[in-house]
Structure 1
Amino acid sequence: MIVDKQHITSYFTELQDAICQALEAADGSGRFREDLWERQEGGGGRTRILQNGDVIEKGGVLFSAVHGAASEAVLKQMNTHEPADFYATGVSIVLHPHSPMVPIIHMNVRYFELSTGQSWFGGGIDLTPHYVNAGDARWFHQQLKTACDRHDPAYYPAYKAWADDYFFIRHRAETRGIGGIFFDYLRPENDDHKAALFAFVQEVGNAFAPIYTHFMQKNRALPFGETEKKWQMLRRGRYVEFNLVWDRGTKFGLETNGRTESILMSMPPQANWVYDYQPEPGSLEEQTLNALKKGVSWV
């Protein structure tokens, strides 16, 4: 089977549909609002936002397929200076729950190609608990390892390390959460290799809904109070810092004149910053900060 951009784009639209249906069912009351949008330079997308559900306070499941003349910044990323057109498509998700006991999650799967013939896949899933629970972290990483191992046993250790490096808030010297997997610029060598890479991207995309609905159901009823909500607002602040300062996807979207509301849908509905915050010694907050390190072996 020849995997082309139409085939890939079709899968991404179906993935968006399936994930939205699964999240609505798990949430209970929340329903996605859909905005269809067009990009003046070419292409467009479907932005779906769920707000004030039973579990999800604000979340987005976005599909886009955009094209046009590649900017100098994009050409530089592809190690070429030859003028070219680009085509980019993918699904991007960020979910912020009401409860500080339910983690934030992010997923992105994407495909990019140039009219010169170059193409690549990228993506990943990472989890950002407000409170790090070792059992939840082990379960999460085992799901990702199992998905990776179906395609290549070398994937999980390589892409787990890549996630640790990528989702790192350098100015804070802490990871955004407990990581996950991250991969980028996976370039097909031939048609068979492209089909294999696409199958792996599908595996990652299809893993998302079972993983997150598990945490929605498991943690939604856990008790919390004012202390936990204040901590949640601080951790959301860290999430904002990473996305605005370091995230390449945010920068790419803004550089290619993408839809601002869709690009910034990853922002939480509320966040907070406290000057020189120091957690109480021995507290769960301190334990979580101590766990936000690179290279933690969860499986």
Structure 2
Amino acid sequence: MTQKLELSIPDQAAGERLDRALASLLPEMSRSRLKALIEAGNLTSSESGATITEPSFRVKPGQLFALHVPDAAPPEPLGQDIALDIVYEDADIIVVDKPAGMVVHPAPGNLDSTLVNALISHCGDSLSGIGGVKRPGIVHRIDKDTSGLIIAAKNDAAHHALSRSFAAHDIARAYKCLVWGTPSPKSGTIETLLGRHPTHRQRMAVVSRNGRHAITHYQVEQSFGLGAALVECRLETGRTHQIRVHMTHIGHPLIGDPTYGRATIARRAQLSETAREAARGFPRQALHAALLGVTHPRTGAYMEWESELPADMQELIRRLGTK
């Protein structure tokens, strides 16, 4: 259950950081806890209704805020009997075809029903604590609304080996996505720095400095006139939202992407009415982790798995092809 606290900034707090000002009003809560609540989107302006996510925001006397404080999460995730589409499993690793809508690990706003909860139930005590109690077994992530292949470690040795492989970019990963427009040329490499958006801190962006090196290789697999295309993206690096940001950067955002995916009226007009309505109504970013290849942490053998496009993306492709 979430508790709502109404807070008013006193005169003596004028110009202070938001998290510091709130800490003085709520001495029973640590500043780090308040900072985490703010960054997770739990604070709104009572006057405008806008969500405030910057702990360093400078406050003014008399400002009113509403802080939503969720119940404390259990110190360790609990196992939940959730069905998993297991592609491969042995004593060291498990590969799962994750459905769209499933969060990988517990976090504010998604405290249960995650992949981690399902893995704890399926794997039992062997998974406990690997990689930290909050994310046991997890060595990489895919977004909640991205479907497809993800690998988890079932013991410490496997976790360390896989983590080293990911850090060294020694992993094969290919994603299928549906984008607005058709990229030209039809194959290429996008190489940029990626970092936090300068004003929208929960978004990523291509930046000119202080970012992380990111490389995506893309190939158009099918075009739907000039209005849309099916594209394969192979990751050389694996940064947060990398494909979504990179495809937007070259002018071809993912269909259905609520954060980066806006298309111009002119581009939408290139599709038939049926195709246009299907694309505009697609409820998630049209992105699927279709291929995953790793060196097995115990045997040293290279192993690779593939996943077919999920039904919703296959249906979208069918409707994009209508005249």
When the two structures are superposed, what TM-score results if normalisation uses the length of structure 2?
0.29
The structure with the greater share of residues assigned to helix is: 1
Higher relative contact order (CA closer than 8 Å, sequence separation 6+): 1
When the two structures are superposed, what TM-score results if normalisation uses the length of structure 1?
0.31
